[in-house]
Structure 1
């Protein structure tokens, strides 16, 4: 077994503060990846940076390795400079909640647990999670086959996230010759709003009788633009859709395009992700829930209306999986993003317990897993 470590709380806080202090907006994560790798090495991990730019920290028990547990977080953040400071037991800074707090908690939890013989722990800081492409997770999805996975996202120290809604992002556009505004012809903006009304009527019909937010289609206009140069006028609308399990993005996309043809609108789509949810009986959910109880908490099981790298990897990996991490997700992407240090430290202890019990449960199985890292 790799040596389990007792890590002083001050070290755990320093690692988090150091990583949060290192900017890592999506597409510019390299400096933070190197900081993460440096701290991982100091905790006894071996590290690599893969071809996608992901930071991978490995901790292995005595060979042969029969099972691998992935702790998959993300190291990128949305834009927004929030001065990093610790005040009243709270660490402020961009990424403290989403999701460097969960990532550091997984790194320290794995180090505190150590890897039993036959088990390899992989703590991964993926790049690009905050983009619609999620390049880091997609690269890993096609090369890694863990036997269990904890996704590092804020759930609260006593929360376990069972699933996330799906997603589709659509850009609707129309360009036409300029005409007098007093004339009878519909403007590009008029066409887009007519398209949007048709789309939302369809969504209202889907949502009829559905009470839970997780079961409803959510539609939001993100940006709108219109203009003219004297010869041509144009309008552009970007909208996002959050989807329940029974509405695949491809199904909604077909409807968007049908409505677009009716109103002479062009539609382009990105960010296709299907909803995914696991059960409370999932081994990862059970391990995290038991660990929360052991730390004096009452587990809260959650279904989130957002989307995460869980949506990317879970349908392919088909292993026990759930999301966990310290922090209040209501603070994601806000100018007041901050995390309770006490909650962060408690989550490390939860992860330590959960990884240990997961390893115990996985070891009796004999079929080896496979991993490819190139």
Structure 2
């Protein structure tokens, strides 16, 4: 029996691929995608001192690899706006008398404003700042005053729970949609649908609408629980959140329908949908780790993931109070990916009908 099953595995390229190639793919995804080190935090600086001592401090910060200088300004208002619009994660203000304090070896009152919509970034940013300041040769004693924005209690649930919306919707919706066409084939009803007056576009849209409604129910349940059970503040445009959720569902359902059209086996289609949606949604979308900390070769891949855009949209609406003008740069590529996946599914089903 074992010899017979082994021959079957060798003759079935799909099963063999899952057995041998999937572990290798997952190894590389986890090894390169999961970075526990937080690097390349976007830094905004308001340098009132403009002295060699202050420039030496900024050089040490950027050369450490933990900070990238995103903004250097002379305006307090511009620095605050950069923090509000996510142009920087850490906003550092260097006082005018910084060099004088350094020469006298007196505490220099530095101020750091931290964007805590991601509490891991905020904590890491403050830790790195303190470490770099203390390591500076001849630096004045540390007198860093940190102000935390958006999530002053640094509650990780405020960061994790909104991000779970994309992970849950992507995995569950894709798996359900992957079941749609493959089930019809296995039950022998696909031929009847093909011979019916329904066109392939109508067939896909009918399947899509049913699962879209189920996904909408999931959005309502998850958002309600996040606000009333987990006490995550929802500060932004609620209507925009639901509209973006519907667009995101298009991507998840499009992936599932595509696998369902390409793979005749119901179980294999559902498994493929789960593997290709859950792992990237968790590891490569910015859900749990910084995209900027990923290897340079991996970062371009994330632009093809709808979850990358939806994660930022959801967290900006929940914690930053964002509305349409702030989230539009993420909405457009996410919508394009979703529409493209659905149209591709229609073409594949039409070709295979």
Structure having the higher Rg: 2
Structure-2-length-normalised TM-score: 0.32
Structure with the larger RCO, 1 or 2 (CA within 8 Å, 6+ apart): 1
Q: Which has the higher strand share?
A: 1
Structure-1-length-normalised TM-score: 0.31
Q: Which has the higher helix share?
A: 2
